[in-house]
Structure 1
Amino acid sequence: MAPGTPDWLLERIILGELPSAPLAAARARLEREPGGAARLARLEADARRTLERHPPAAVAAEVARRDHRARVLAEATRRAESQGWHGLSLSVPVAASLALLFMSAPEEQPEPSASPVPLVVMLDTVRIKGPPRLRVHRQGAGEPELLDEQARARRGDVLQLSYVSGGRRHGVVVSVDGRGAVTLHHPATLAGSTELGPGDAVPLAHAYELDDAPDFERFLFVTSDGPLDVSTVLEAARVLARQPSEARTRSLPLPDTLGQTSFTLEKVR
Structure 2
Amino acid sequence: MAPGTPDWLLERIILRELPPEALSAARARLEREPGGAARLARLEADSRQTLARHPPAEVAAEVARRERESQGRTETVRRGNSQGWHGLSLSVPVAASLALLFMSAPEEQPEPSNSPVPLIVMLDTVRIKGGPRLRVHRQGAGEPELLGEQARARSGDVLQLSYVSGGSRHGVVVSVDGRGAVTLHHPSTLSGSTELGPGEAVPLTHAYELDDAPDFERFLFVTSDAPLEVASVLEAARALARRPTDARTLPLPLPDTLGQTSFTLEKVR
What's the offset of the Cα at 1:200? 1.1
What's the offset of the Cα at 1:163? 0.5
Q: Tell whether the 8 Å contact from 2:167 to 2:198 is kept in structure 1 after alignment.
A: no
Q: Tell whether the 8 Å contact from 2:175 to 2:185 is kept in structure 1 after alignment.
A: yes
Corresponding residue number in structure 2 for 1:142:
142
Tell me the distance in 1 between the aligned counterparts of 2:248 and 2:129.
26
Corresponding residue number in structure 2 for 1:253:
253
Aligned residues with identical type, % of pairs? 84
Tell me the distance in 2 between the aligned counterparts of 1:260 and 1:152.
23
Partner SS, residue 233 of structure 2:
helix
Matches within 5 A, 1:218-229: 218-229=218-229
What's the offset of the Cα at 1:216? 0.3
Tell me the distance in 2 between the aligned counterparts of 1:129 and 1:174.
21
Corresponding residue number in structure 1 for 2:101:
none
Superimposed CA distance per residue, residues 182-206 of structure 1 (whole angstroms, 9 cap, x where no aligned partner): 0000000000000001211111011
Tell me the distance in 2 between the aligned counterparts of 1:130 and 1:144.
24
Q: Of the two, which has the highest radius of gyration? A: 1
Corresponding residue number in structure 2 for 1:210:
210
Partner SS, residue 262 of structure 1:
strand
2:206 partner amino acid: H
Tell me the distance in 1 between the aligned counterparts of 2:258 and 2:230.
13
Tell me the distance in 2 between the aligned counterparts of 1:263 and 1:247.
12
Matches within 5 A, 1:56-205: 130-205=130-205
Corresponding residue number in structure 2 for 1:242:
242
Paired residues, what number?
150
Tell me the distance in 2 between the aligned counterparts of 1:231 and 1:203.
22
Superimposed CA distance per residue, residues 10-32 of structure 1 (whole angstroms, 9 cap, x where no aligned partner): xxxxxxxxxxxxxxxxxxxxxxx
Q: Which protein has greater RCO, CA pairs closer than 8 Å, 6+ apart? A: 2
Q: Tell whether the 8 Å contact from 2:136 to 2:162 is kept in structure 1 after alignment.
A: yes
Task: Return the TM-score normalized by structure 2.
Answer: 0.53
Corresponding residue number in structure 1 for 2:88:
none
Superimposed CA distance per residue, residues 32-83 of structure 1 (whole angstroms, 9 cap, x where no aligned partner): xxxxxxxxxxxxxxxxxxxxxxxxxxxxxxxxxxxxxxxxxxxxxxxxxxx8
Tell me the distance in 2 between the aligned counterparts of 1:231 and 1:254.
12
Partner SS, residue 167 of structure 1:
coil
What's the offset of the Cα at 1:129? 6.4
Partner SS, residue 213 of structure 2:
coil
Tell me whether 1:263 sits opposite 2:258 in the alignment.
Answer: no
Partner SS, residue 234 of structure 2:
helix
Tell me the distance in 2 between the aligned counterparts of 1:148 and 1:140.
16
Tell me the distance in 2 between the aligned counterparts of 1:169 and 1:180.
29
Superimposed CA distance per residue, residues 100-132 of structure 1 (whole angstroms, 9 cap, x where no aligned partner): x79xxxxxxxxxxxxxxxxxxxxxxxxx96111
Corresponding residue number in structure 1 for 2:107:
none
What's the offset of the Cα at 1:245? 1.2
Corresponding residue number in structure 2 for 1:233:
233
State the Cα RMSD in Å: 2.2
Task: Return the TM-score normalized by structure 1.
Answer: 0.53
Partner SS, residue 232 of structure 1:
helix
Tell me the distance in 2 between the aligned counterparts of 1:129 and 1:237.
24
Q: Tell whether the 8 Å contact from 2:240 to 2:253 is kept in structure 1 after alignment.
A: yes
Segments of 4+ moved more than 4 angstroms: none
Tell me the distance in 2 between the aligned counterparts of 1:228 and 1:136.
23
Partner SS, residue 266 of structure 1:
strand
What's the offset of the Cα at 1:149? 0.3
